[in-house]
């Protein structure tokens, strides 16, 4: 399985001709990929904040891809002209590429229309456990540390976990390192940091914390790939 980090929380999984994209937000300066360059059949959205869904509709339309999200957010994406499949926390569904399960996340979720000063409710925030290419992947979304991460580690053999470390809006490095121990992932890749000054972090410090706990951490710059 090929993993590409596009920056912020946007991760792409590829195996052969199948491509899955999480939380597409490619517009900030410094992100290498253009929206028009992305090829994906499925787009998974953890919640409705702009920095996780900004490019979802455009990529979905370009690829005739299906957006997978909570029922409310999927409905809203469908109203924007995208193909969408709604689910909810704790539920799972077998897609052609593998099974997807939604997990809880402690955060908020809304779609903000700045020009109208309007906030649209986007359902509960979540994370995803995805079975793909013989691997089990956990994308935590935006979340603080919560005790039921231990259950995720007990119920699922996580091969790779994508955990936010930016602090302010999500876990910081120390809490994320503890989360990594609880979910028992073989490999942990940090996400949701350094996009904005308020979430500036040193990912090497995070991987040092992981190493001290006997966990492999991999830091990817935007545009970099790794294999699992």
Give the model confidence (pLDDT) of 184-197 as tens digits. 999 999 999 999 99
Mean pLDDT (the chain) is: 96
Q: Does the structure show a pLDDT above 70 at 127?
A: yes
Each domain of the chain, given as residue ranges in start order, spans 2-221
Domain spanning 2-221 has what CATH number? 3.60.15.10
> For the residues of the chain, what is the DSSP string, one character each?
-EEEEEETTEEEEEETTEEEEES----STT----GGG---SEEE-S---HHHHTTHHHHHHHHTPEEEEEHHHHHHHHHTT-EEEEE-TT-EEEETTEEEEEEE-SS--EEEEGGGTEEEE----EEEEEEETTEEEEE--S----TTHHHHHHH---SEEEEE---SSS--HHHHHHHHHHHT-SEEEEES-SSSGGG---HHHHHHHHHHTT-EE----TT-EEE-
User: Global pTM?
Assistant: 0.97
pLDDT of residue 30: 63
Question: Taking residues 146-154, what's their average pLDDT?
Answer: 98
pLDDT of residue 29: 59
């Amino acid at each position: 399985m090929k993993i590409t980090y596009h920056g912020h929380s946007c991760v792409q999984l590829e195996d052969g001709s199948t491509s899955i994209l999480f939380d597409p937000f490619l517009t900030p300066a410094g992100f290498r990929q253009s929206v028009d360059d992305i090829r994906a059949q499925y787009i998974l959205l953890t919640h409705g904040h702009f920095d996780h869904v900004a490019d979802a509709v455009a990529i979905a339309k370009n690829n005739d891809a299906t957006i997978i999200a909570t029922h409310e957010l999927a409905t809203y994406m469908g109203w924007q002209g995208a193909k969408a499949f709604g689910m909810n926390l704790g539920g799972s569904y077998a897609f052609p590429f593998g099974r997807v399960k939604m997990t809880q996340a402690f955060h908020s979720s809304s779609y903000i229309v700045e020009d109208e000063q309007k906030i649209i409710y986007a359902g509960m925030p979540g994370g995803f456990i995805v079975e793909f290419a013989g691997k089990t992947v956990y994308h935590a979304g935006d979340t603080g540390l919560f005790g039921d991460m231990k259950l995720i580690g007990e119920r699922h053999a996580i091969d790779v976990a994508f955990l936010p470390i930016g602090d302010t809006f999500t876990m910081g490095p120390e809490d994320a390192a503890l989360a990594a121990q609880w979910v028992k992932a073989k490999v942990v890749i940090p996400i949701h940091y350094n996009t904005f000054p308020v979430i500036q972090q040193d990912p090497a410090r995070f991987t040092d914390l992981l190493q001290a706990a006997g966990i492999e951490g991999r830091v990817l710059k935007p545009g970099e790939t790794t294999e699992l």
